[in-house]
Amino acid sequence: MNILHVSGADVWGGNEQQLLSLIIGLQNFEVNQSLFCFNNSPLIEKLEQTDIAILSIPKSSHLSKNYIKFLKEIVSTQKIDLIHLHTSASLTGYVVTDIFHNLGVKVIFSKKAVSSKISFLSKIKYNYKGVDSIVCVSEYVKEHFKAVLNSKNYHKLTVICDGVTENVYKSSVETDLRESLGLEPSTFIIGNIANHTKAKNLSLLVETLNYLVNDLNIKDLHLVQIGYFTKRTESLREKVKEYNLEAYISFLGFSENTHTLHPQFNVFLMTSEREGGPTVILESFKHKIPVVTTRVGIVDDCVSNGEHAYVAEVGDFKDLGESISKLKDDRCIGEQMVKCAYNLFLNNFTEKKFVQKTYEHYSKIL
């Protein structure tokens, strides 16, 4: 089984972590793998110590002659059996290449998120006859994606949930959040890990903090936000100033050490308006951190409000804030909740299950 993974990602996020886990996990099966990406892909450094063939080119349009030529040559010279497309842009590149060169291989496209808008051209590529299977990360994504597909293509849809490793790394804490941020030992830390994109709705994060501090008058807490800064970052900082919340929030930017920071949270807060997974919720379940979240992705699929996590409707900062207040006031609630959430994780969302199901799906398609 000769698999070509294709990704156009140039930043590190949950989807890239999942691809890395999949590639490494598949080394335990009878699979030959190659990765086609751009020279600046963060995946390259992560895979340097493996025997995976990395085939990269300078960043260009997925419609460029160089991209099309390179993809065609990889498929023919490497004798690829199946192409696994991991980004929407890589699907575009495949479709155009196949139209011109008839690649003649099986193709799987992974759909990891819910798009806010779908153009006419996007509908054409998602319904392209050369795509054999569309793997959705959750039932939530599958149901939303049906609106994009022609009904004759519904049979291509399948769900394989993301997974995270069961291992909890025992490395020494490289950054003690309370010490580095000058927080009192009793300070209740609210954590959030999300890049500053529209889908993550970090404005709602600030609204929730404002409700806790200025409406509920809870002062012994601090919100730690980790993720890539973007053009949206400045408006978030302005909103923090508007509500006089500078002393209650820290934007740390992207961190390579989230595995040491995540376990230091007293609660994990997610305010996204659109999500596919996300794996950060699974990481919280694994680390036994109580979760307060909006109803998106796998949360909508299988997380029961009050049992596995506190779940609010998208945009409801009051419900999010009140749930955090409950967890802060009564730690016993959180202790029971994380037990249920951990069992949900073990039964459904481990990395081993994710890799095994993907391998089985490859075999089925081939």
Residue 49 has what pLDDT? 78
Separation between Cα atoms, residue 27 and residue 35, nearest integer Å: 13
pLDDT profile of the chain (366 residues), mean per 10: 93 87 92 93 87 92 94 94 95 96 96 80 92 94 92 96 81 79 95 95 98 97 96 97 98 89 95 89 95 94 94 97 97 95 95 96 96
Name the β-bridge partners of 310. 292
Separation between Cα atoms, residue 131 and residue 83, nearest integer Å: 10
Is 191 within 8 Å of 269 (Cβ atoms)? yes
In a domain, 168, yes or no: no
Residue 319 has what pLDDT? 98
Instruction: Based on the fold, state whether residues 117 and 181 are members of the same structural domain.
Output: no
Residue 50 has what pLDDT? 83
Instruction: Based on the fold, state whether residues 322 and 359 are members of the same structural domain.
Output: no
Q: What is the DSSP letter of 303?
A: P
In a domain, 170, yes or no: no
Residue 122 has what pLDDT? 87
Instruction: Based on the fold, state whether residues 110 and 219 are members of the same structural domain.
Output: no
C-alpha distances in Å from residue 167, one per residue of 23, 24, 26, 261, 312: 18, 15, 18, 15, 29
Residue 118 has what pLDDT? 78
Separation between Cα atoms, residue 336 and residue 315, nearest integer Å: 26
Instruction: Based on the fold, state whether residues 73 and 212 are members of the same structural domain.
Output: no
Residue 336 has what pLDDT? 95
Instruction: Based on the fold, state whether residues 213 and 344 are members of the same structural domain.
Output: yes
Instruction: Based on the fold, state whether residues 355 and 340 are members of the same structural domain.
Output: no
In a domain, 172, yes or no: no
Instruction: Based on the fold, state whether residues 129 and 183 are members of the same structural domain.
Output: no
Instruction: Based on the fold, state whether residues 158 and 295 are members of the same structural domain.
Output: no
Instruction: Based on the fold, state whether residues 230 and 254 are members of the same structural domain.
Output: yes
Structural domain that includes position 88: 2-163+350-365
Instruction: Based on the fold, state whether residues 43 and 135 are members of the same structural domain.
Output: yes
Domain count across the chain: 2
In a domain, 143, yes or no: yes
Residue 256 has what pLDDT? 81
Phi then psi for residue 269, to 5 deg, are -115, 125
Residue 171 has what pLDDT? 56
Half-sphere exposure of 5 (CA within 13 A, CB side): 28
Please name the helix (run of DSSP H) or strand (run of DSSP E) that holds residue 83, with its range, or none. strand 82-85
Neighbours of 296 (CB within 10 A): 28
Instruction: Based on the fold, state whether residues 240 and 255 are members of the same structural domain.
Output: yes
Q: How many residues does the chain have?
A: 366
